[in-house]
Amino acid sequence: MKEYKMLIGGEWVSAKSGQTRDVTDPASGELLAKVPEANADDAKLAIAAARKAFDEGPWRSTPALERGKLLFKVSKAIMDNFDKFVEMEVRDCGKPRREAEFDVGDAANCFEYYGGLATKIHGQTMNTPDGSVSLIVREPIGVCGQIVPWNYPLLMSTWKLAPALAAGNCVILKPSELTPMSALELGQIFMDAGFPPGVVNIITGPGAGAGEELATNPKVDKVAFTGGTVTGKKVMQNATNNIKNVTLELGGKNPVIVFDDCNFDSAVDWTLFAAFANQGEVCSAGSRLLVQKSIHRKFVDELVKRVPRIKLGHGLNEGVVMGPLVSAAHRDKVESYIKIGIDEGAKLLCGGKRPEGKEFEKGNFVEPTIFDDVKPSMRIAREEIFGPVLSVIPFETEEEAIALANDSEYGLAAGVFTSNITRGHRVIGKIRAGITWINNYHPTYNEMPWGGYKQSGIGRELGLFGIEAYLETKQINIWLDDNPVGWY
């Protein structure tokens, strides 16, 4: 058990109230750590530290090359501590080891990517009509509040920190109260790398209080949030206080469309991964399977046949590819949706319950669950469950598949399986979603923009778009004629 402090203004501090929160392993209930329970007062201190570092500190004038090199150091330190981070992520949020390994590697690569981009922030020059020399320059936005969820603690922290720092901002990061450990460990890496005090502040605490303060406080220039759509709406409302720049990455009810001309085996494999990777606790999870009627029965039978290959258990155990849900409360929510699905008349094909056996007794496990004959109007077809629950809806024509796919308040991700690439392009072109795949699902690239249409969010993270989200734009017009114009 480790006792953590949080990082404010370059110092490791306790919460002003002295309160702490227990962090437990969702697979075993084991106490892992105690972390400070920040409230709005602590958030205000962190905001003041970031404000001071931005307004008075050396960060804005630190050459981009130096900022980039510091981010390279962070990347290297993550890789030097690869196993430690992997184990921590598995224990903290319950993911299987192989997925934690992807996350830690991706996080290191993301810091490296944005370290490289720090020196590639360019402005423009314009030929203005009166002959002035006109420049467009890019500047950091200022102080950024960054609020991240519990499903990818290290990676979501990274997606927020790396571009913001590359662009020259100062930040206050708040990880989820359920999974704060890797963000705090990252804090130590920032200190060791030599970031000036106050440039990176990390506070741990709940959304009500600490999180709300980051969204509301007028000294914060931007708030970037990843989490549920209901919370995202609150963050956006609170951000109107001082018209903050806002980036939101919210929920999804993402369709996977399988046509009868697909590569059958590969489509089955990816469909299971789409739905059940990270226990389905993924905003981009392919949780709605739209499958063409001509192969519906065969496809669903094959899915069900392969489900027993999904080994549940503690993510550190050999061969485990599905861990527990993050908390007992979240398991209750997922189980309530399973009950809703049964009550609505969907056909439960497999799962729907907790696994039996001693190793599962103390964890928040739910078996991979597939519902067939789901009607598009059912709640399990419309609402984000955020667990290992797949809803299958059969369709007949391409037009019907597109209409069903778009029949959602969300628009985060989508997948299409077909061996007709023309059809693949045509269908994806008509789907209102920001992240799409043809003939696979989930691979995510630091170079590619991540974010959603409709109620799945505003703005994009990652890639060049990700650094854009942390830059202001200024025009500078230079008059070259010394003679008075004679206006008056």
Closest CB 358 distance from ligand TXE, rounded Å: 28
121 or 184: CB nearest ligand TXE: 184
Instruction: Identify whether 447 is a catalytic site residue.
Output: no
Closest CB 60 distance from ligand TXE, rounded Å: 27
Which residue of the chain is nearest ligand TXE when measured via CB?
207
Instruction: Identify whether 283 is a catalytic site residue.
Output: yes
Closest CB 79 distance from ligand TXE, rounded Å: 25
Closest CB 35 distance from ligand TXE, rounded Å: 13
Instruction: Give residues in contact with ligand TXE (CB under 6 A).
Output: 147-151, 174, 176-177, 206-208, 211-212, 215, 226-228, 231, 234-235, 249-251, 283, 333, 384, 386
144 or 148: CB nearest ligand TXE: 148
Catalytic residue among 37, 283, 367, 384: 283
Closest CB 456 distance from ligand TXE, rounded Å: 8
Catalytic residue among 89, 112, 212, 249: 249
Three-state SS annotation for the chain: CEECCEEECCEEECCCCCCEEEEECCCCCCEEEEEECCCHHHHHHHHHHHHHHHHCCCCCCCCHHHHHHHHHHHHHHHHHCHHHHHHHHHHHHCCCHHHHHHHHHHHHHHHHHHHHHHHHCCCEEEECCCCCEEEEEEEECCEEEEECCCCCHHHHHHHHHHHHHHCCCEEEEECCCCCCHHHHHHHHHHHHHCCCCCCEEECCCCHHHHHHHHHHCCCCCEEEEECCHHHHHHHHHHHHHHCCEEEEECCCCCEEEECCCCCHHHHHHHHHHHHHHHHHCCCCCCCEEEEEHHHHHHHHHHHHHHHHHCCECCCCCCCCCECCCCCHHHHHHHHHHHHHHHHHCCEEEECCCCCCCHHHCCCCCCCCEEEECCCCCCHHHHCCCCCCEEEEEEECCHHHHHHHHHCCCEECEEEEECCCHHHHHHHHHHCCCCEEEECCCCCCCCCCCECCEECCEECCECHHHHHHCCEEEEEEEECCCCCCCCCC
121 or 148: CB nearest ligand TXE: 148
97 or 331: CB nearest ligand TXE: 331
211 or 255: CB nearest ligand TXE: 211
Which residue numbers are catalytic?
249, 283
